[in-house]
Amino acid sequence: MDKEITDRFIKDLETATSIDFFEMRVKDLTMGGGFLPRNLDYLRSQTVRKNIKKLEMDIASSSQKDYSKMRQDQLDDIKIKYAHLLS
């Protein structure tokens, strides 16, 4: 994998606020033969925390009940799936 592309993907991992985007970039890196950063678990846990905070803010600021319910479901799923990273 081209170093420039790898560097961009690593930057994406460091700044991601969506865990789905983060995991997509990890997959892209591994499939493309790029290296994963040594602090991958730390970056993943930080992304989960940012994603949770973003969802909580969306829920708190939304006046649409259906949208809030959808975001709450996403939040609950993330908290369950990534509970091991939140301890």
pLDDT exceeds cutoff 70 at 1: no
Coil/strand/helix, residue 50: helix
- CB neighbour burial string for 7-30, b if at least 16 within 10 angstroms, e if fewer: eebbebbeebeebeebeebbeebe
Give the Cβ contact number of residue 50 at 10 Å: 16
pLDDT exceeds cutoff 70 at 19: yes
Greater model confidence, 4 or 60: 60
* pTM of the complete model: 0.85
pLDDT exceeds cutoff 80 at 23: yes
pLDDT digits (tens, 9 = 90+) for 33-80: 878 888 999 999 999 999 999 999 999 999 999 999 999 999 999 999
Compute the distance between CA of residue 27 and CA of residue 47 in angstroms, rounded to an integer: 15
CA 26 to chain centre: 10
